[in-house]
Structures are given as C-alpha cells and as structure tokens.
Amino acid sequence: MKTTESMWLLPQMGIYHRIGPMVAVPLTVERLGAIGGQGVLCLRGPLTMENVLPFQNAIRREEKEESVIVDLSEVPYIDSSGLGSLVSAYITRQKAGHRVALSGVNERVFRLFEITKTESLFLMFETLDDAVAALSGAAEA
C-alpha cells in the first residue's frame, strides 16, 4: 500500500506544513439504556464526516425516549458534519416533542457551538450525572 504526503505552503506568512496520510479515527457509540427515565448514548472518539453514521443510527433508535442524553466527555472534536447531525437530531426530536441534552462538552466542542450560534439549542450539563439528575427532576415535576 502506497501512502502519500502532501505539503502546503504559505511562504508570505512563514507557514510550511507537511500533512501526512489521513487516517479516520473511529467513533464508538454505547447505549447505556434508560437511566433515570432518559435514554443515554456515550460517544467515544471524534464525531466527523467519516464516522457520523453510527451516531445517526443510534439516535434514531432512541425515538421513543422523551429525552436523550448524549455524553460527549470522550469526544475530542466535532466537525461540521458531526455538528449537522447533532442539530438534525435536535430538530427531529423537537418536532416530536422530545429533548436532546448534551453532557461532558469540552472547551473545543463548546467553542464550535458558540461560533455557529447553536449552543442555545441544547440543554448542556457538565457531567452525565448532572444531566440525569436535572432531567429526572424535570420529568417528575
């Protein structure tokens, strides 16, 4: 198997960067089941164009749950396709009267939400436990 490297240059800015072969980092989606009456999906790995399909399939399987918590504590970054899939999940669930909450959002991912002005769409919690507690309390109210 032959791999190639490319190089891009911006000499006027003093930037010389060598790009190695691109390797897709896998995404795993683990369904923790209903915790506190909420569906919980734990993602591990980047949510990107190359691996967004497992997330899309998993979120569709949660259609009967009133709320789904997507734990992003092990997601280092999200690209525009990953962001689009989260927004699509939000819209689909919102139309059905259901919620999507995010937990464990790191600074890099949160910055993406801020830049794209999508942070207000999602309920966000620091930890999965915080999300479960808050949403379980809301369901009981």
Q: How confident is the prediction for the chain on average, in pLDDT?
A: 84
pLDDT of residue 71: 97
Say if CB 58 and CB 31 are below 8 A apart: yes
Residue pLDDT, tens place only, 75-105 = 999 999 999 999 999 999 999 999 999 999 9
Question: What HEC string does the chain produce?
Answer: CCCCCEEEEEHHHCEEEEECCCCCCCCEEEEEEEECCEEEEEEECCECHHHHHHHHHHHHCCCCCCEEEEEEEECCCECHHHHHHHHHHHHHHHHCCCEEEEECCCHHHHHHHHHCCCHHHCEEECCHHHHHHHHHHHHHC
> Taking 60 as the threshold, does the pLDDT of residue 123 lie above it?
yes
List the domains of the chain with CATH numbers.
25-140 (3.30.750.24)
pLDDT of residue 22: 55
Say if CB 85 and CB 56 are below 8 A apart: yes
